[in-house]
């Protein structure tokens, strides 16, 4: 390592031409005012990138930098450093050179870290510069994956040594150190850390596959031997309060977990298949339900339409889309806007996913006869101003909701339909009179979720003639396409954004619907002529803004 005279980061950035003198002076003033690091201030303002800082430090310190985005973890190498030390100093082992261990570090000058690494690994350390956010992402991947493999090995070893009956007897609440309990806990924890929406435990003839769904896509987590299935399922049943002796019928249960300071509610569904019981666990993140209406990705025109719809004192506002399209999140954001001291809001949901202070929320329980329809009848005797019905599932519920809207209540609800206009036809199919639908419904918000392109690795792309034909975005337009890096688990996408279609029923549309003069397609055509932006229009808008890709836009088209 060559010795270089240490300079302040700001001076180094200025001397290398990365920032101007004015930007340096401004950054120093902000540093004094906020007590933040200069580099953090400059990155937040978009003046430089964190990789610019890494390059400057490499030049100053003479320590090579490593781009972890392109690095594929070698679990055998990563495990050379104990997890406690790796997380304490934000380091990860990335290579071996003889008796020397190459370690990516956020601070390669930390002598305490270097000493601890040398003592724990009994190897000489070659430090490398890396971004702390890249290291932290790899740490979760490296140690949770390694831990899962170790636990799976212990479980399979135990099954070989003991009879299956003994394994099942061990799976109880007090055996916290049992390998099977560690395996189930590790699967759930890993999925939550990755922000998964679901975990699937799937039995096949010779093995059990565990997959998790992130950003709408399933990824394999691990595979275990078929002999472990009954023990895994039994442990999940115990946690969610289900009957461990029942293996012939489907079961549904619930449980909660705390991971990294956040509470996560889990909904468990168990389904008998020809190879054993399949389990699906859905995660409901309470800390993720704080989105405001303006954070949901509405086009500015559609946002204004929605805010105007919410000013209606009565009527029905519907949110539609397939399962998992974010309808509940949108309704929660709408309720926050409407939640004022002078109004009485009551919801009936199955289950209650978003708990909002100041709103009376009722959970459906069909086992004891507490259905949507029964709840609605009771709610109407509670002097409500606004009613939210989690879903209109049957003609009885829709009929009561429509009558409530006509008699002076604002009703919010959801439907499973492909677009906004077809929601009108769906209500009529459920038995509602068309004149009642025309009088009650004020507007419909239809939505889909598309994956967001990872901001760390997205690359520019020029729309081709073929793509113009497919997506109607003009040839030559500059958009972005996914590439893949360690930040997005090499998928090219990170997170999701909603794409909306907002149908406002003005007097003309209400009157024509009431007279049964328009079909669903005709309603849509007329609404477009009157200024409605379709799902397709808003998907193209997000492609041009760089939020999503042409491939995701085309996927939306096939879902309609």
pLDDT in tens, 525-550: 888 988 899 999 999 999 999 999 99
The predicted-structure confidence for 448-488, as pLDDT tens digits, reads as follows: 999 999 888 888 899 998 888 888 889 899 999 888 776 77
Give the span between the Cα atoms of 116 and 109, in whole angstroms: 13
Q: What pLDDT, on the 0 to 100 scale, is given for residue 69?
A: 73
Give the span between the Cα atoms of 223 and 296, in whole angstroms: 37
Could you tell me where the DSSP H helices lie in 298-362? 300-309, 327-338
pLDDT, the chain, mean: 83
Q: What pLDDT, on the 0 to 100 scale, is given for residue 16?
A: 72
Residue 328 main-chain phi, psi, to 5 deg: -65, -40
Indicate yes or no: pTM above 0.85.
no
Q: What pLDDT, on the 0 to 100 scale, is given for residue 518?
A: 67
- Mean pLDDT of the 251-271 span: 84
DSSP letters for 115-131: HHHHHHHTSEEEEEE--
Give the span between the Cα atoms of 278 and 379, in whole angstroms: 38
Q: What pLDDT, on the 0 to 100 scale, is given for residue 471?
A: 85
Give the span between the Cα atoms of 172 and 476, in whole angstroms: 62
- Mean pLDDT of the 297-322 span: 93
The answer to whether the beta carbons of residues 442 and 317 sit under 8 Å apart is yes
Q: How far is CA 557 from CA 237, 506, 539, 550, in A?
A: 39, 27, 9, 11
Give the span between the Cα atoms of 41 and 27, in whole angstroms: 7
pLDDT at position 275 over 90: yes
Residue 295 main-chain phi, psi, to 5 deg: -95, 0
- Mean pLDDT of the 403-423 span: 89
Q: What pLDDT, on the 0 to 100 scale, is given for residue 422?
A: 86
Q: What pLDDT, on the 0 to 100 scale, is given for residue 167?
A: 46
The predicted-structure confidence for 60-90, as pLDDT tens digits, reads as follows: 777 888 888 767 677 778 888 888 888 888 8
pLDDT at position 330 over 80: yes
- Mean pLDDT of the 506-511 span: 84
Q: What pLDDT, on the 0 to 100 scale, is given for residue 484?
A: 79
The predicted-structure confidence for 197-206, as pLDDT tens digits, reads as follows: 899 999 998 8
Structure-token pair, residue 420: 């906004």
- Mean pLDDT of the 27-46 span: 79
pLDDT band at 273 (very low <50, low <70, confident <90, very high): very high
The predicted-structure confidence for 226-255, as pLDDT tens digits, reads as follows: 888 998 999 999 999 899 999 999 998 888
- Mean pLDDT of the 26-43 span: 80
């Amino acid at each position: 390592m060559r010795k270089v005279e240490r300079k302040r980061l700001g001076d180094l950035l200025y001397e290398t031409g990365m920032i101007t003198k004015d930007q340096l002076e401004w950054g120093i003033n902000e540093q004094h005012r906020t007590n933040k690091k200069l580099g953090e201030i400059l990155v937040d303002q978009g003046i430089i990138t964190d990789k610019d800082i890494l390059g400057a430090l490499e030049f100053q310190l003479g320590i090579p930098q490593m781009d972890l985005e392109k690095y594929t973890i070698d679990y055998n190498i990563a495990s050379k450093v104990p997890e406690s030390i790796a997380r304490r100093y934000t380091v990860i082992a990335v290579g071996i050179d003889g008796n020397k261990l190459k370690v990516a570090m956020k601070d390669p000058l930390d002598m305490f870290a270097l000493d601890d690494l040398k003592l724990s690994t009994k190897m000489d350390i070659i430090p490398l510069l890396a971004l702390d956010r890249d290291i932290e992402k790899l740490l979760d991947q490296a140690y949770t994956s390694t831990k899962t493999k170790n636990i799976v090995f212990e479980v399979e070893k135990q099954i070989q040594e003991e009879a299956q009956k003994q394994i099942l007897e061990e799976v109880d609440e007090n055996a916290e150190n049992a390998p099977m309990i560690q395996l189930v806990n590790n699967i759930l924890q890993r999925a939550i850390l990755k922000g998964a929406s679901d975990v699937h435990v799937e039995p096949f003839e010779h093995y059990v596959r565990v997959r998790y769904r992130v950003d709408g896509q399933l990824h394999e987590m691990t595979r275990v031997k078929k002999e472990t299935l009954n023990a895994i399922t039994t442990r999940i049943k115990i946690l969610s309060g289900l009957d461990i002796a029942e293996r012939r019928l489907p079961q549904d249960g619930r449980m909660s977990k705390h991971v990294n300071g956040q509470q996560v509610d889990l909904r468990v569904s168990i389904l008998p298949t020809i190879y054993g019981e399949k389990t699906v666990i859905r995660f409901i993140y309470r800390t993720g339900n704080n989105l405001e209406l303006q954070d949901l990705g509405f086009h500015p025109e559609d946002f204004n339409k929605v805010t105007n719809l919410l000013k209606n004192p009565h009527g029905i506002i519907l949110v539609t889309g397939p399962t998992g399209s974010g309808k509940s999140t949108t309704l929660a954001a709408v309720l926050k806007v409407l939640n004022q001291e002078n109004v009485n809001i009551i919801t009936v949901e199955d289950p209650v996913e978003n708990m909002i202070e100041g709103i009376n929320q009722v959970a459906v329980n069909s086992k004891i006869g507490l259905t949507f329809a029964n709840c609605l009848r009771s709610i109407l005797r509670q002097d409500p101003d606004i009613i939210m019905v989690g879903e209109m599932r049957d003609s009885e519920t829709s009929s009561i909701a429509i009558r409530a809207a006509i008699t002076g209540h604002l009703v919010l609800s959801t439907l499973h339909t492909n677009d906004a206009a077809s929601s009108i036809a769906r209500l009529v199919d459920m038995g509602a009179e068309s004149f009642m639908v025309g009088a009650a419904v004020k507007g419909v918000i239809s939505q889909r979720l598309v994956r967001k392109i990872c901001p760390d690795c997205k690359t520019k792309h020029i729309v081709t003639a073929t793509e113009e034909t497919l997506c109607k975005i003009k040839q030559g337009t500059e958009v972005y396409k996914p590439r893949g890096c360690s930040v997005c688990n090499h998928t090219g996408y990170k997170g999701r954004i909603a794409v909306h279609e907002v149908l406002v029923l003005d007097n003309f549309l209400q009157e024509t619907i009431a007279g049964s003069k328009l079909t669903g397609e005709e309603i849509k055509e007329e609404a477009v002529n009157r200024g409605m932006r379709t799902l397709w229009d808003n998907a193209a808008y997000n492609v041009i803004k760089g939020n999503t890709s042409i491939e995701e836009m085309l996927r939306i088209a096939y879902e309609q």
